[in-house]
Amino acid sequence: MIKIGKPRIEPNGNSLTRLVSDIFVDGEKKTVWAEVDNRYKDYLCDERSDAFVIGILHYAMKNNHDIICEAPMGESLYYQITTYLIDSFSKANPRMYAIRLEADVDEEELPCGSGVGTGISCGIDSLHVLASHTNTKMKKHNITHLTFFNVGSHGEGERATQLFEARKQQAKAFSQEYGFDFVEVNSNIMDMFQQEHFVTHTFTSMFAVFVLQKLYATYYYASSHSFFEFSVRNMSTISPGYGELLVLDMFSTENLRLYSEGGTLSRLEKTQEVSKYAPSYKYLNVCTMTATNCGRCEKCTRTLLALDILGRLDYYNAMFDIDYYKRHKQQYLKTLVAKCITHNDTYLEMYPYLKKQITLFTYISSIPVVFKEWAILHIPSGGFKDFLKKMYQVGKRKV
């Protein structure tokens, strides 16, 4: 049983304010907080349990906990979660429990700002939201606020902390240069409720949105999967991105409309739109390894190949080592071949545009990479997998 205490607002030093709730898990107290700059403190929502329910809903279903809330929930949110979301998740996923959610309902509309928000990571998905929702004739849909959440996506350890700070500075600089309000939400929710960010990111990110639900009228969450991949199966182990069409609709209310943005497009199509968005020439950052684009990791590789197909490489001289890419093209194509053989849609989409450039030697030398990809996809995690990965490092591309 999880009991969510009534949220309260507390100052933290001179410039920060927290929304706090004492949450009891089988009697054990876990104090969860989310922290914002004081200029957003009036938008913190302490009237309702909404944010905290959303933040731990996946955890509760996976760990067999009913939830009782001391503060009410918004009527629509309560209705949608209890009528549709819990039922569909539990029926499609035997490992997710059909929890009982108890809360009074508040049918009143909250005071609501007109903010239009989206997260700013400067990756392809994030910049696609901006490219598509800036200076359009649909004024209520143009982005006003760029958000940066610390709810688990930045990993752990010193390297993660450095990456987090570097990305935050980049996000702030982007917001300043292009005239958006910057909203940082820092939280300990992932310390209190340890979950794999990969399988809960939609829930923990929406926690950070609902902490300030009185600020936004619209929020775009950059989709990581296409709508045609929609499924709510295996939600206990795979990315919630597959089920986002349902999840974000069930979390939308009269005050706040959530969109899974970009779900109609493939990665190559998104990259094409981003490559016409001038701020991306200075800010595109897709790398998972270093604060600037390393040019060699998987995300850098697929982005460089896409920009090459689109004829836009030279626009990104400030963000990538384009000369290095051109000199080592066959190494990148080796990754393309291996990813295609292991049925990666992102690379399969690019293959027809590049196949004439792939040499016989590249096909042959991609064999060790194919084995590595296959091992990652098909061998359960553990020692043997790590051993295999190390073995195939020998044949790994050197780009």
Residues making contact with Zn ion (CB under 5 A): 287, 289, 294, 297, 300
Q: Which CB sits closer to Zn ion, 219 or 320?
A: 320
Q: How far apart are CA 101 and CA 50, in angstroms?
A: 12
Supply the minimum distance, in Å, between the C-beta of residue 211 and Zn ion: 31
Supply the minimum distance, in Å, between the C-beta of residue 297 and Zn ion: 3
Supply the minimum distance, in Å, between the C-beta of residue 188 and Zn ion: 29
Cα distances (Å, whole numbers) of residue 237 to 2, 100, 198, 234, 335? 22, 22, 9, 6, 26
Q: Which CB sits closer to Zn ion, 318 or 364?
A: 318
Supply the minimum distance, in Å, between the C-beta of residue 349 and Zn ion: 20
Q: Which CB sits closer to Zn ion, 232 or 304?
A: 304
Q: What is the 3-state secondary structure (H, E, C) of 158-200?
A: HHHHHHHHHHHHHHHHHHHHHCCEEEEEEECHHHHCCCCHHHH
Supply the minimum distance, in Å, between the C-beta of residue 269 and Zn ion: 22
Could you tell me if 60 and 200 are in contact, meaning their C-beta atoms sit under 8 angstroms apart? no
Supply the minimum distance, in Å, between the C-beta of residue 131 and Zn ion: 21
Could you tell me if 346 and 354 are in contact, meaning their C-beta atoms sit under 8 angstroms apart? no
Q: Which CB sits closer to Zn ion, 16 or 376?
A: 376
Q: Which CB sits closer to Zn ion, 183 or 333?
A: 333
Could you tell me if 36 and 45 are in contact, meaning their C-beta atoms sit under 8 angstroms apart? no
Supply the minimum distance, in Å, between the C-beta of residue 122 and Zn ion: 13
Supply the minimum distance, in Å, between the C-beta of residue 199 and Zn ion: 23
Q: Which CB sits closer to Zn ion, 85 or 399?
A: 399
Q: Which CB sits closer to Zn ion, 287 or 354?
A: 287
**Three-class DSSP category at 264:** coil
Q: How far apart are CA 6 and CA 20, in angstroms?
A: 8
Q: Which single residue is written with the structure tokens 């590595």? A: 372
Q: How far apart are CA 354 and CA 365, in angstroms?
A: 17
Q: Which CB sits closer to Zn ion, 61 or 300?
A: 300
Q: Which amino acid is at 79?
A: Y
Q: Which CB sits closer to Zn ion, 166 or 379?
A: 166
Cβ neighbours of residue 122 under 8 Å, at least 6 residues apart?
Answer: 167, 170, 171, 174, 283, 284, 285
Per-residue tokens: 338: 């291996």
Q: What is the 3-state secondary structure (H, E, C) of 284-321?
A: CCCCCCCCCCCCCCHHHHHHHHHHHHCCCHHHHCCCCC
Q: How far apart are CA 337 and CA 373, in angstroms?
A: 11
Could you tell me if 203 and 53 are in contact, meaning their C-beta atoms sit under 8 angstroms apart? no
Supply the minimum distance, in Å, between the C-beta of residue 285 and Zn ion: 9
